[in-house]
Chains A and B, each alone.
Chain A
Amino acid sequence: MSELAIDREIDRSKMQVSDEVAIEITNMNKWYGSFHVLRDINLTVNQGERIVIAGPSGSGKSTLIRCLNALEEHQQGSIIVDGTELSNDLKNIDKIRSEVGMVFQHFNLFPHLTILENCTLAPIWVRKTPKKEAEERAMHFLEKVKIPDQALKYPGQLSGGQQQRVAIARSLCMMPRIMLFDEPTSALDPEMIKEVLDTMIELAEEGMTMLCVTHEMGFARQVANRVIFMDAGQVVEQNEPEEFFNNPQSERTKLFLSQILGH
């Protein structure tokens, strides 16, 4: 399918994986009704890791990262994010959500608020940041994603790529320690995918801990330090990108890679 060439040197000086654990998932299971979507997931993510989760559609990869900030509820096992265990306690859930940024396939910007208000809303209401400070920070991140001049427009007036970059800036305004990306480029025109990937690469260069569900194998190859392949709700294979692409072990991975890269 897509292996968009990344045509620039990636600065790896700050891309360091520390020993500190960011996310720890142990024996996690999830069902939708009687359908077993996630089966015995065990995954430890260290601070500074950039993980790409790949797999065919319906394999549970989106569900997995949506469990990490409790958009979906898991029924068994434990998820510990940044030292806080995800349980039914609403306080824990709100705390984790404010530490973990999330970018969606369909952006999920708030259409009734301007770009700037989209970015300042959560800092002002959740973090109790003074309005002025929140606006300054929002402008800082909007400059980073290269759309400061759109700050007073509404999401509906922006292109898809611009909207997705605003969504990234909106998450960053909460100063998260971990960023989750749920197919961030799947709803975009080919011309716009690159600008969003560039923003994600810059984020990786700054040492952000990232979990990305994506079909952009070029991004996986160049930026990720680990690729996880899922099928039928379970982790089938995980490896460093070099090994994963050049020397896949399981038959299922080989088939997937041959279909996704094979033309």
Chain B
Amino acid sequence: MSDVSFVRKEMLPEKAPPASEVGVLGWIRHNLFSSWLNSILTLISLFFIYYVLSNILSWTFESVWNANSLSECREIMMATWGDTHGHACWGVIKDRWLQLLYGFYPPYPAHPDATWSNPPETGSWPAYFRPNLTFVLLLVAIAPVLFPKAPRKLLYVTAAYPFLLPWLMWGGSIWGPLMVAAGFVIGYIAYKLVISAVGSLTALILAIVLPLLWWLFAAGPVAGAINSAIPLGIEPVQSRDFGGFMLAILLGVVAIGVSLPIGIVLALGRQSDLLIVKYLCVGFIEFIRGVPLITLLFVASLLLNLFLPPGTNFDIILRVMIMMTLFSAAYMAEVIRGGLAALPRGQYEGADSLGLNYWQAQRLIIMPQALKISIPGIVSTFIGIFKDTTLVSIIGLFDVIGLTNGIRADTAWNGVYWELFAFIGVLFFVVCFSMSRYSMYLERKLQTGHR
């Protein structure tokens, strides 16, 4: 009787979509040629891409590799193509790639007179063995941190790496780094011994103060004493010899590796209910973020010596590392604070209601989620600080950028710009792009169906 009455007798089956919606043709029509205007824009863009690529590719590949000076390059170019424009002179890279990578780091530290082309006659480690080994160990040490499938036993390498790195790079007695490591063991043992007798706060303070006392007063003499009894070490290398892309990686790795934990602590401190802790963190973060990195580097290179007792030799690279780490940590703290702020309050309450204490809640519930949210920002900060390592050329360290000036000062290569900077650009791009891809992999992996 009623016209609005309707009862479905059977459910409708699923149908295939029309051909214009799927497949390669569908995609092209949808994304490139959906209207007249879009078709024209597509054609213009394609032409533009072709124009840029054809120039860059011909410059890159129609080039000269075998030349010992810029003028020789130009002669070859004139002979081959009839002009000197539009052709790269990669001879400079072939001539100076070792310097660009390693700076003035001696290829054979035990044989100061030997060079790459003139290796020592007696048996010795291969050239640049120590920086190369340090780099390989770096990859081994970060593998278990980056990839859960890597064997867990590699974490021992990760734990030892902070002590191996300075020893391998700077050389000297093995006892120094070992005594520094012993400080951590002392702190751990002290904590474990007294935690049952006194409160956890007292134990924590003791676990911080004892190692500090050890490092300040005991570690040096003890290491010296053991070394005079059992000398064990490798040839030392001076900081002024460090340089090239190796220096960028060295500074980048330290700044990245140390700034993340410091950033987490600063972010937690900034959210703390303890007023003094909170304002110390706020003050630190705002001060560091309000000052250009280059100023901090000048402070590290020039001013810091004024405050230190005369005669102390506080290594320039160490000073730069500290400044870069602090700089990156301040940014990291703000990125992580953003992640913390994005977490719903219910997560804190859920953790609290189960009886988890503050640190357990932070470690198990809050930080894993806050860090996950902050991954893009964290990796951006990493990439930023890694590229900022090139600023050290301004305070006289011979990183890759600083070396380009040195290379141009040689009459043979006076006037070479593009090739050097293209090479440096590729080096940095490979590292930064890897970091960016890894962060995307990590985000996908941690996606658990929420949000």
Contacts and interface: CB of A to CB of B under 8 A. Distances in A.
Contacts of B356: 121-122, 125-126
A263 interface: no
Interface string A153-187: 11111000000000000110010000000000000
B354 A109 contact: no
Interface in B407-451: 446, 448-451
B374 to A, nearest CB: 13
Contacts of B351: 110
Contacts of A108: 346-347, 349-350, 353
Interface in B184-241: none
A43 interface: no
Contacts of A238: none
Task: Say whether chain B's binding surface is mostly helix, strand, loop, or mixed.
Answer: helix
Given A97-B352, A174-B354, A156 B347 contact: no
Interface residues of A, number: 31
A104 B346 contact: yes
Contacts of A157: 449
A98 B351 CA distance: 11
A90 B359 CA distance: 13
A194 interface: no
Contacts, number: 77
A110 B350 contact: yes
A249 B349 CA distance: 36
A112 B357 contact: no
Interface stretch (B8-16, B26-34, B53-61, B362-370): B362-370
A94 B357 contact: yes
Nearest to A110: B365
Nearest to A157: B449
B311 interface: no
Nearest to A71: B349
Given A112-B368, A112-B369, A112-B446, A122 B355 contact: yes
A111 B448 contact: yes
A108 B346 CA distance: 5
B360 interface: yes
B387 interface: no
B354 A104 contact: no
A107 to B, nearest CB: 8
26 contacts: A69-B353, A90-B357, A95-B355, A97-B352, A97-B354, A97-B355, A101-B353, A102-B353, A104-B346, A104-B350, A104-B353, A106-B346, A108-B347, A108-B350, A109-B350, A110-B347, A110-B365, A110-B369, A111-B448, A111-B449, A121-B365, A122-B355, A153-B449, A154-B450, A156-B448, A171-B354
